[in-house]
Structure 1
Amino acid sequence: MSRKRKRCLSNQPSAAETSAGLAGPPSALPGRASWSGLLRLSLVVVPVKAYPATSTTQTISFNQLHAGCGQRINYHKVCPVHGKVASEAIVRGYPYAPDQYVVVEEAELDQLRPPKDRGLVLEQCIEASQIEPALFAGRTLYLVPEGLPARRPYLVLQEALKRQKKAALGRITLSGHRHVALVRPTGRLLSMHLLHDPAKLRASAALETELRDGAANEQKQRLASMLVDSATAAIDWARYRDDTAEKLVALIEAKIAGRQWVAPAEEPVQVLQLLEALKQSVADCVQKTKAAGPKPPKRRRRSA
């Protein structure tokens, strides 16, 4: 890498600098609320604020550079007939035939968008297990009461859902888009999970037909059950930490410093026959359990 190009990389702001290893662990503070409005269930109305449940501050981004000189690549909006076009001269068009477009004006799109309703309207309560996991869109927000007067109705609603082991299904408008949302108790809070449009969920029945005749014999099934039992343990989320960003930071820091970076070696995967794999897996789990020591005895409930 030339000196000039190396300087271009080292002066890039800070998507990488916000990652672990360059700026330390992320703050535990929730930051700014991403939404505020009224949580409504029938006639019960609670002002709430919504905070993202996950952090996005550790994302590492790159700029595209010219390989020859290290300068950033720029993109321009160009018409093949008239050349460069200003943003205000660009409209939306839908291709209904080859090289044929119908123009849709921004004002027409505004009429189709849902009204700017600041409400999270809960329409029914359900068992949380009724929701197919594939519907979860991967975005969760924590709801907190907005202001002292909102705390009591918020806690009453949260406790009611918790005692009944129920969740509430409703709708909310975010960034001009209508979403189906699932609200459920999380600790002392209410969390809101955004769901995919149920109409987009693909049926799994067609895939399941391929598995009708694939049942294992009783010995293999018994060993598989033993494997599940021996592998059952309390969740330790530290084991599932995504260290991809840390490895990427290490690579970037090594290149900035001019050091050679060596990728960590991958462990080989041993492929065994199913019966042998089950037997060996059960033995490995039992050995790990013995090495970890005995489990603490369960506390007996006192009789009333």
Structure 2
Amino acid sequence: MAPRANWKGFLRLSLVTCPVALYPATSESEKISFNQLNRKTGHRIKYAKVDADTGEEVANEDIVKGYKVDTDTFIEVTKEELENVALESTRTIEIDEFVDRSEIDPRYLIRPYYLRPDGKVGHDAFAVIRETIREMNKVAIGRVVLTNREHIIALKPLDKGLMGYEVRSEEEYFDEIQDVKVTKDMLDLARHIVNQKSDRFEPDKFEDQYETALVDLINQKRAGNPITPKERPAAGNVVDLMEALRRSVGGAAPAKAGKTAKKPRKAAAGQKEMLMPIEGKKPKEAAAKKPAARPQRKSA
């Protein structure tokens, strides 16, 4: 049985979608770790969450996240409100483009992950995406939100699954992937989609849209505006894979001079690692546009 997944969601190429799970390809469990002890008693040190002013311990259910506005003013943000910052990349790895393997400097490849189908459905769609990338010797570039940051992720085939680079045996992850025969017609259609999305790898094209959405959420709450949950995108199972491929080809604009028809917005330069945080708008950049703040809840 494979270890617990870090993230579960969907992998999507145009209209072809399948449920997937993302697993870390490295492990810290075999390394020696230490606990902190009281030298006098030999007892372990326990860290308690206490109120900074009263010194009283605070129960986990009474702890909320807050964005600091000034010395003693915070904007409270609930777990539900954070979940409603509904970026596609929170639940879906959308393949934005394909690049040649030679375009990816090995220094970009950090924090390797294994990607496999999640559950018993979607193995055929996963196989089409995997085999098309393999046959065309490409790397798929997408986005995924991990640890409250949107990251660029590079995917390439390994055996029956997808990964960045091998650092642990893949068998425990890929054994349960079904053996699917991908037809020539499916590969031809998928290859056409890849050609339309093919481009040169430019990391500074990507902007952290998740951070931008968080800044907007904080500003809306600061202005006292009601927070309306965004409608989550439907992620239904593909019933007819060939039809989804045909519609994907038909709905895409033809590429010109090797460039993709749709390019992400430019972001600040300095993007230097693969599966790395994408530079986003910082709160101070949005300060000039912030509405006047109404009195906020003070820290105790």
TM-score by length of 1: 0.46
Which one scores higher on RCO, CA 8 angstroms, separation ≥ 6? 2
Of Structure 1 and Structure 2, which has the larger fraction of its residues in helix? 1
